Amino acid sequence: MNKVGGKIGIFLSIALLSACQSGQPSDSLSLTTQSSPSSVIVSVAKIIQTCWFKSHDPAFRAYKLANEVNSYAGRPRLLLVPKNNPGGLPELVVQAEKSGNSTNLQTYGPILSGSNGKRITDDIKRWSRGNSSCKAFG
């Protein structure tokens, strides 16, 4: 094999290997729950503390959680912010707002377009529906 063909083969092998090891990005999440906005944010925040931070999950090592449960705007939220710049822009926002007899929960932020985006939205979706398991099954 010539040098160019060998380099292309190595490049393709590395690209395929990294594709197998990375997660998937996700769009923002929007769902409806019957819990009050504050209760759903408090519940999700407690599970995030357990599953992402107390477990020392490497995907969240660079972040810390900031809760804004007592919102005067009526939209309690939690923020995932850089650990080394907690006053900086959040990488993830999970926000709840009352709408009629239910609560709308939304997630958005740049972290969702990264390799853990799908996992994050799957976790938030599961936890906001009352399942406190750290791992998705099925």
Q: Strands 63-68 and 102-108, how do they pair? A: unpaired
Confidence band for 8, pLDDT divided at 50, 70 and 90:
very low
DSSP state for residue 30 in the 8-state scheme: E
CA distance 14 to 42: 42
Q: What pLDDT score was predicted for residue 52?
A: 97
Q: Higher pLDDT residue, 51 or 3?
A: 51
Whether 89 has a pLDDT exceeding 50, the answer reads yes
Whether 136 has a pLDDT exceeding 80, the answer reads no
Confidence band for 135, pLDDT divided at 50, 70 and 90:
confident
Q: What is the pLDDT of residues 33-46, one digit of tens each?
A: 888 999 999 999 99
pTM of the model as a whole: 0.76
Nearest to 96 by CA among 66, 70, 135: 70
Q: What pLDDT score was predicted for residue 74?
A: 80
Whether 118 has a pLDDT exceeding 50, the answer reads yes
Which residue segments constitute the domains of the chain, with CATH numbers given? Answer: 24-128 (3.30.310)
Q: To which H or E segment does residue 87 belong?
A: none
Nearest 5°: the CA angle 136, 107, 130 is 45
* Other Cβ atoms within 10 Å of 26 Cβ, number: 19
Confidence band for 14, pLDDT divided at 50, 70 and 90:
very low
Mean pLDDT over 17-28 rounds to 50
Whether 107 has a pLDDT exceeding 70, the answer reads yes
Mean pLDDT over 72-88 rounds to 92
Whether 24 has a pLDDT exceeding 80, the answer reads no
